[in-house]
Amino acid sequence: MSDPIARTGLAPRFWERKPLSRMSDAEWEALCDGCGKCCLNKLEDEDTGDVALTRVACRLLDGETCRCSQYPIRHQFVPECIVLGPRNMEDNLYWMPETCAYKLLWQGKPLYKWHPLITGDPESVHRAGVSMQGRTVSEFEVDDDDWEDHIIEEPT
């Protein structure tokens, strides 16, 4: 299957040689493993700050490909979608999935061996069972008050 994320023409294992803050836009985008977990709605406890993950996905997430269906123009539909970058990583770490490539590198950890950058295959994240492929429900289908019924553990 062709990779919906452009990962060609990049230096071999660039993520091991460059800090996130020095990556080009193409390198930054190529780091995304396509798991879809950052596009799930979360529930945050106001008192404790704890974050619970739900399987209720953003309206733009395609639950089969785990891709944003309108990525380049997504803010027209979902203005609150966060544009992650080195400057706001620290503020967002608390809710980011544990296997997220950006979080791993920020924490000085290596990428998992199933990462498409390592396997050369965009399907490897799904085969490893760590993506949300086939596991989501759309936020169109679940009332906000019922998100609690859809809390899940992050597949890792």
* Site residues (vs ligand SF4, CB under 6 A): 32-39, 58, 60-61, 68, 74, 78, 81, 97, 100-102
Residues 48, 80, 64: CA angle, nearest 5 degrees: 95
Query: Which three-class secondary structure string do you get for 62-98?
Result: ECCCCEECCHHHHHHCCCCCCCCCCCCHHHHCCCCCC
CB nearer ligand SF4, residue 18 or residue 112: 112
Which one, 18 or 74, has the nearer CB to ligand SF4? 74
Which residue's CB is nearer to ligand SF4, number 23 or number 35? 35
Smallest gap from Cβ 37 to ligand SF4, in A, equals 4
Closest approach of Cβ 75 to ligand SF4, in Å?
A: 8
Nearest distance, CB of residue 17 and ligand SF4, angstroms: 20
Side chain identity at residue 149, one-letter code: D
C-alpha dihedral sign at 82, 84, 86, 89: positive
Nearest approach, Cβ of residue 101 and ligand SF4 (Å): 5
Q: Which residue has the tokens 């040689």?
A: 17
Residue with token string 């994240």: 125
Which of 133-153 are b and which e, b meaning 16 or more Cβ less than 10 Å from the residue's Cβ?
Answer: bebbeebeebeeeebeebeee
Nearer to ligand SF4, 18 or 65 (CB): 65
Q: Of 56 and 58, which CB lies nearer to ligand SF4 in the complex structure?
A: 58
Q: Name the minimum Å distance from CB 118 to ligand SF4.
A: 13
